[in-house]
């Protein structure tokens, strides 16, 4: 395959700001002249995978990301690191100024300018030496200046974004050698033709603690070559890299956060080696993959993992959550599992309660929401009852083992809340099978506006009052509530609002002949389910603003 004087295989080019890599140089059957076969970084620009008339000339990393173009088509002009830096953060004119005699002068932040007219430029470019965060994403940077010139111009850079440029790894190495304070490096969207780094006494990347390599399409083998050069790495992003598995890699053991989102991982076991290669891992993101299973090899444990994101996958069974219990994840505290198919067809409150009850108690934040103590207890008790109904429907005690195997927390929850009574198949069929059946159904009405709410019977009246104040934008102390009980939901012999012992639950009045429970005490700690124990169907709560004497 002959190369033209201006192009070479693996070369990075930009056409109309769209980046590509040269994969082929040569003739194409049925045409005249020489062609460039390129693979576009944006696959939507491609037309095929390197073939023409059913003949393959090269292959692409991403299907249908290639096209053929003529070498006569001019690519976008490129620039260098310091040219881009000066254009964006300096005077916008580049790095060359001309004397009257026509001799160009290269300026740096540390040079002293004594000629008339250069004072303002000197001050402006001196600011480059103070820059700490530099973003040069998409500037078509292809080359770099010397280490000395970079040191003189911008020695204090701590955070650098070189994403979506045309730089080879050798040029990035030069830049890092010149920036002693650099610790945050973004290289997203780059393509590396070579990963060879000359041997140094100290790695050019030894101070990098945060590295982003998203959309680089690096393979596990290439990562094995590159990662050992980053011995101090703490945070690593490898998103959008078409990864299907992660074999044991020489990860720096200092890594505490790893982002593998938007890859092609299908099972949690495909990354199980991270439990040994990353002993200090505390955050792991696997969102937007193709996960269907969360099972892991026996004795796998992530002892320090506190945050796990497996949202936007294809997990279809709640039983998969059992794989996230201790001892595999002993201190997992924050879990995201939303936008999977395991909750399809379920009512929102049922799905939430099931997730809360099935995850370990050390999980305090679920899908970005804090799990309250009472909320967890209610969900666990309801979930125990649901398991008991499942056992009952299956035929009773003799099938308890097969059912319990599907519910990893059964033993733990029975120890916490007591073993529930197993109903007979007939009893189980009569009981409701949704969380909605165990909540109070209340319509809150104020000034013609009605809010339908499902209220846990265990919350105190005072908490309900605070919720109502928030729903209707009222002051808590001015919230008055009267719960209207439907006549067909009340006992015929107990219409005055007294219980069996004659205790008055609230001041009972009437509204068009119907009983109304007036909730007056602002600090009432009684559970709403006890106060409204006569309410078995849907109730209506009239909300009004009242004046209180303080």
Condensed to tens digits (0 to 9), the pLDDT of residues 367-402 reads: 999 999 889 988 998 898 888 888 887 765 566 778
Residue 84's pLDDT band (cuts 50, 70, 90):
very high
Q: What is the mean pLDDT of residues 508-536?
A: 59
8-state DSSP, 62: S
Is the pLDDT reported for residue 513 higher than 80?
no
Which residues on adjacent β-strands are paired with residue 68? 37
How crowded is residue 388: how many other Cβ atoms within 10 Å of its Cβ? 21
- The most confident of 244-248, 285-289, 383-387, 413-417, by mean pLDDT: 285-289
Task: Tell whether omega for the bond before 397 is within 30 degrees of 0, i.e. cis.
Answer: no
Measured torsion, CA atoms of residues 423, 428, 433, 437, in degrees rounded to the nearest 10: -80
463 three-state secondary structure: helix
**In this predicted model, which residue has the larger pLDDT, 297 or 391?**
297
Read off the DSSP letter of residue 190.
-
Distance from C-alpha of 99 to C-alpha of 95, rounded to nearest angstrom:
13
| 467 Rama class: left (phi>0) / alpha (psi -120 to 50) / beta | alpha
Q: Are 84 and 90 in contact (CB under 8 A)?
A: no
pLDDT higher for 11 or 493? 11
* Structure token digits, residue 421: 């009574």
SS3 390: helix
Please check the confidence at residue 532 and state whether its pLDDT lies above 50.
yes
- Has residue 291 got a pLDDT over 60? yes
Confidence label for 213 from pLDDT (cuts 50, 70 and 90): very high
**pLDDT exceeds 60 at position 493:** no
Which residues belong to CATH 2.30.30.190 in the chain?
11-69
CATH class, range 439-489+509-545 = alpha beta
172 touches 148 (CB < 8 A):
no
Options 2.30.30.190, 3.40.920.10, 2.40.50.140, 3.40.50.150; CATH for 11-69 is: 2.30.30.190
Pairing of strands 66-69, 35-40: antiparallel
**Most confident region among 113-122, 330-339, 463-472 by mean pLDDT:** 330-339
Distance between CA atoms of 229 and 226, rounded to whole angstroms?
6
CATH 3.10.20.90 location in the chain: 439-489+509-545
- b/e code 22-37 from CB counts within 10 Å (16+ = b): bbbbeebeeeeebbbb
What six digits make up the tokens of 517? Answer: 């429970």
Beta-sheet pairing, 283-285 with 257-259:
parallel
Q: What is the sign, positive or negative, of the torsion defined by CA atoms of 386, 389, 393, 395?
A: positive
Mean pLDDT within 353-373: 95
Tokens of residue 128, six digits: 């480059």
Per-chain mean pLDDT for the chain: 83
Give the alpha-carbon dihedral of 165, 170, 171, 175, to 10 degrees.
Answer: 120
CATH 3.80.10.10 describes domain 79-92+122-371: yes
Distance CA 284, CA 422 (A): 40
- Listed in order, the ranges of the chain carrying CATH 3.80.10.10 are 79-92+122-371
Nearest-CA neighbor of 367 among 383, 348, 352, 385? 352
Measured between alpha carbons, how far is residue 225 from residues 64, 179, 195, 203, 218 in Å? 28, 23, 7, 13, 10
H-assigned helices in 34-187: 81-89, 119-126, 147-153, 169-178
| Residue 38 clears pLDDT 80, i.e. is over it | yes
More confident: 69 or 419? 69
**Residue 543: per-residue pLDDT:** 87
Tell which residue, 42, 4, 1, 53, has the closest CA to residue 20.
42
Measured CA to CA, the distance from residue 244 to residue 316 in angstroms comes to 20
Tell me which residue of 163, 209, 219 sits closest to 186, measured CA to CA: 163
Among 322, 357, 355, residue whose Cα is nearest residue 340: 355
| Percent of all residues in the chain with a pLDDT value above 70, rounded to a whole number | 80
Is the pLDDT confidence value at 491 over 60? no
Structure tokens at 125: 């470019």
Whole-model pTM: value is 0.74
Tell which phi-psi region holds residue 13, choosing left (phi > 0), alpha (psi between -120 and 50) or beta: beta
Q: In 3-state terms, what secondary structure has residue 13?
A: strand
Would you tell me how many other CB atoms lie within 10 Å of the CB of residue 198? 7
> What sign for the dihedral angle of Cα 503, 506, 510, 514?
negative
């Amino acid at each position: 395959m002959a190369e033209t004087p201006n192009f070479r295989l693996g070369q990075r080019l930009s056409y109309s700001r769209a980046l590509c890599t040269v994969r082929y140089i040569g003739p194409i059957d049925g045409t005249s002249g020489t062609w460039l076969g390129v693979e576009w970084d944006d696959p939507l620009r491609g037309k095929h995978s390197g073939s023409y008339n059913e003949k393959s000339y090269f292959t692409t990393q991403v299907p249908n990301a290639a096209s053929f173009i003529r070498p006569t088509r001019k690519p976008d002009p490129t620039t260098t690191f310091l040219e881009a830096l000066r254009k964006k953060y300096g005077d916008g004119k580049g790095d060359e100024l001309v004397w009257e005699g026509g001799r160009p002068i290269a300026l740096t932040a540390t040079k002293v300018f004594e000629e008339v007219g250069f004072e303002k430029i000197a001050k402006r470019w001196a600011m480059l030496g103070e820059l700490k965060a530099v973003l040069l994403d998409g500037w078509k940077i292809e080359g770099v200046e010397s280490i000395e010139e970079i040191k003189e111009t911008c020695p204090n850079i701590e955070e650098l974004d070189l994403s979506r440029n045309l730089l080879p790894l050798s040029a990035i190495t030069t830049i890092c050698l010149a920036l002693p304070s650099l610790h945050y490096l973004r290289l997203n969207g780059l393509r590396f033709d070579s990963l060879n780094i000359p041997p140094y006494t100290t790695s050019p990347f030894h101070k990098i603690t945060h590295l982003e390599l998203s959309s680089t399409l690096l393979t596990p083998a290439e990562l094995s070559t590159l990662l050992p050069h980053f011995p101090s790495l703490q945070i690593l992003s490898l998103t959008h890299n078409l990864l299907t598995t992660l074999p044991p890699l020489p990860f720096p053991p200092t890594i505490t956060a790893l982002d593998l989102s938007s890859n092609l991982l299908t099972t949690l076991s495909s990354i199980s080696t991270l439990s040994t290669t990353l002993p200090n891992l505390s955050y792991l993101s696997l969102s937007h993959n193709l996960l269907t299973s969360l099972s892991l090899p026996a004795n796998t444990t992530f002892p320090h993992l506190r945050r796990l994101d497996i949202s936007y996958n294809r997990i279809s069974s709640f039983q998969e959550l059992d794989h996230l219990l201790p001892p595999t994840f002993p201190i997992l505290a924050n879990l995201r599992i939303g936008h999977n198919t395991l909750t399809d067809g379920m009512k929102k409150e049922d799905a939430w309660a099931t997730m809360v009850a099935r995850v370990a108690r050390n999980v305090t934040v679920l899908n970005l929401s804090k799990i309250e103590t009472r909320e967890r207890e209610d969900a666990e008790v309801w979930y125990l009852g649901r398991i008991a109904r499942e056992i009952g429907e299956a035929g009773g005690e003799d099938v308890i083992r097969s059912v319990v195997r599907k519910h990893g927390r059964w033993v733990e929850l029975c120890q916490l809340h007591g073993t529930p009574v197993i109903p007979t198949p007939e009893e189980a069929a009569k009981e409701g099978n949704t969380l909605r059946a165990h909540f109070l159904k209340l319509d809150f009405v104020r000034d013609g506006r009605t809010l339908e709410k499902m209220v846990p019977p265990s919350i105190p009246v005072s908490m309900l009052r605070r919720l109502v104040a928030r729903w209707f934008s009222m002051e808590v102390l001015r919230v008055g509530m009267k719960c209207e009980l439907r006549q067909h939901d009340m006992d015929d012999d107990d219409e005055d609002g007294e219980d069996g012992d004659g205790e008055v639950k609230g001041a009972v009045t009437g509204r068009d002949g119907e009983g109304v429970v007036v909730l007056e005490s602002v600090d009432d700690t009684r559970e709403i389910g006890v106060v409204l124990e006569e309410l078995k169907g849907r109730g209506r709560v009239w909300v009004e603003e009242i004046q209180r004497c303080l």
